[in-house]
Structure 1
Amino acid sequence: MIPQTVPELVARAADHPFLGQHLALGEGIYHDSALARFEGLELASAYEPIFDISVHALAQSLSAAPESVDRFGDELGFQAVTVRLDGEPYDPFDRIEDDPQLVTLDRMSRALHAINFFGAQRHGLLFLRVHERLLKSVKYDHGRHFSTVLVSFGLNPSRIVIELPAAAVAHRTFLGYLTKSYQRYGFKVAGNLPNAGQILSVSDMARLDFIKMDAGLALRDAMVKPLVGYANRLRIPLIFNRVASEAQFDLLQQYDVRFVQGPLFAVHSHNGTV
């Protein structure tokens, strides 16, 4: 099957009763990107890389030339971030109190990121965050709507990782239900640990595809080594995110950490990370 381009996917979105109202092809520097229009704002996609540093990064130094894109390792995939056209992140949760309106915006944003991700023929997995308020607003069949949209566009849900917030991971029964629901509709699921100890209960109610942990908190509490060991026993890939400095990165490498993400690795362009 020939991969579809962004313009082709935007053209398909025009026939969708909801997305056709909000998504359009950009102009100027955004000519090869889909944009979303919502309440007078124009929103775009940016992508943070998630690196597998076990491949060859240990043999390389962070002091390598900044333009050497692969100096950290191979990319597992990318985390999508909704941004305004000036590049600043757009977080609607402090601005919008109406939950149904938030669900609408979330569905629009996820479709936007998927179109820009698949249409640009990016490799790896696409990680999409889901906010706790959205999880509670949708009562059942989490993932059904988004999966239906993707399939209608000829896109593969199995390359998308739905990332659950720490508040959901802290409730084991809810976590188990959500994980099974999203996986039933073809998605992979990642869970953010609210704290390092929460990893002990992760496997009780849910078979997550990925676990995420704040690198700064794990390093502060001297929990990197035990987290890596327990995740290896669970056979669930563990991603340390929010890596903010070279010092943190160097410490993580000492503990055989495999997957990393954070501001240290992010170099944004108008439609993602380069």
Structure 2
Amino acid sequence: MNDTFKLPAQPVPVEIRRDWPRAEFNIDPIQGAVTEALGMRLASAFQPIYHPDGHAVLGEEALLRADLRRKPLAPQAAFAAARASQLLVPFDRLCRTLHLINFATYARPGRSLFLNVHPELLPAVERHGAYFERILGSQGFQPADVVLELSESDGVAAEPQAIARAVANFRARGYRIALDDFGHAHANFDRFWALAPDYVKLDRRLLRLASQDDTAARGLRQLVVLLRDAGSKVVALGVEDALQRALAIEAGVDGLQGYLLGEPGYRS
């Protein structure tokens, strides 16, 4: 697929080898560690999450980059292909392991790795986090270094008891939890109270509306106060210009993520 897709990188963790006997993690000079599965070439991109001061990086969100026959493929399409092949759980683990291997090449102390968890995995897997914990250990990390993101927009409350059980199991192992895209269409406070996430990532449309309307800006400030009072750290998504950054800081958020501060990129 790519002439640079040649050089051996990290050994394949035994847990991944069981699911993907022919898996390899190779080195691309631009994209870092890459792998192949289901005919797709997979790579990791990372977007920084900044402290409101705009200098300190609190963490990095890992994002899947996939292509098929050298044509970019949306992450949703890549996961749809895995679902169609009845390999959704192994595929999700493979992607998270790829992100972890890339993160390990440059991670600094105190910087967290934010990983998206496909919502269909939560009711489908037992002993949540145990399998991935062994993979973390093979790369010198522990669950406390990871924040697992559950997306509000993916309808993760379809099976609320299963979701609550999964979150409790993850927490018992030391993982932290983020509720992503909070406020997508509407803010589901029932889910927020039930999950008590360590982080809430506000849907980017909330900040966009706040930059256009004073009433929305006041509502944003009130929402941030409520979430922080409940014990969650708040990250503003979609910070794309100086006004949005100023509004987010004025609202009292704990972190900023968006193209103004840093676009998703490879770490090679």
- Give the TM-score normalised by structure 1: 0.76
SS of equivalent residue, structure 1 residue 17: helix
Task: Evaluate the alpha carbon distance shift between residue 116 and residue 9 of structure 1 in structure 2; reply closer, same or farther with a 3 A threshold.
Answer: same
User: Does the CA contact (< 8 Å) of 2:204 and 2:237 recur in 1?
Assistant: yes
Offset at residue 146 of structure 1 (A): 1.0
Task: Evaluate the alpha carbon distance shift between residue 235 and residue 98 of structure 1 in structure 2; reply closer, same or farther with a 3 A threshold.
Answer: same
- What is residue 117 of structure 1 aligned with on the other side? 103
Once structures 1 and 2 are overlaid, which stretch shifts more, 94-103 or 176-185?
94-103
Q: Please, which runs of 5 or more residues in structure 2 have no aligned partner?
A: 1-6, 210-215
User: Does the CA contact (< 8 Å) of 1:179 and 1:207 recur in 2?
Assistant: no
AA at the equivalent of 1:217: L
Offset at residue 8 of structure 1 (A): 10
Once structures 1 and 2 are overlaid, which stretch shifts more, 187-196 or 154-163?
187-196
Output the CA distance in 1 between the equivalents of 2:191 and 2:14.
44
Post-superposition CA distance 1:138-173 (Å, at most 9, x none): 3x3222221122224442121011101212258654
Q: Percent identity?
A: 24
User: Does the CA contact (< 8 Å) of 2:123 and 2:162 recur in 1?
Assistant: no
Between Structure 1 and Structure 2, how many residues are aligned? 245
Task: Evaluate the alpha carbon distance shift between residue 164 and residue 127 of structure 1 in structure 2; reply closer, same or farther with a 3 A threshold.
Answer: same
Offset at residue 84 of structure 1 (A): 3.5
- What is residue 175 of structure 2 aligned with on the other side? 187
Aligned positions of 1:33-182 closer than 5 A? 33-53=32-52, 57=53, 72-84=54-66, 90-91=74-75, 92-98=78-84, 100-123=86-109, 124-138=111-125, 140-166=126-152, 167-168=155-156, 173-182=161-170
Q: Please, which runs of 5 or more residues in structure 1 have no aligned partner?
A: 1-6, 58-71
Offset at residue 242 of structure 1 (A): 2.5
AA at the equivalent of 1:80: A
Output the CA distance in 2 between the equivalents of 1:253 and 1:136.
37
User: Pairwise CA RMSD of aligned residues?
Assistant: 3.0
Task: Evaluate the alpha carbon distance shift between residue 249 and residue 148 of structure 1 in structure 2; reply closer, same or farther with a 3 A threshold.
Answer: same
Aligned positions of 1:205-224 closer than 5 A? 205-217=194-206, 220=209, 221-222=216-217, 223-224=219-220
User: Does the CA contact (< 8 Å) of 1:161 and 1:187 recur in 2?
Assistant: yes
AA at the equivalent of 2:11: A
Offset at residue 89 of structure 1 (A): 6.6
SS of equivalent residue, structure 1 residue 22: coil
AA at the equivalent of 2:124: S
- Give the TM-score normalised by structure 2: 0.78
Output the CA distance in 2 between the equivalents of 1:266 and 1:131.
24
Offset at residue 83 of structure 1 (A): 1.1
SS of equivalent residue, structure 2 residue 169: helix
Output the CA distance in 1 between the equivalents of 2:71 and 2:104.
21
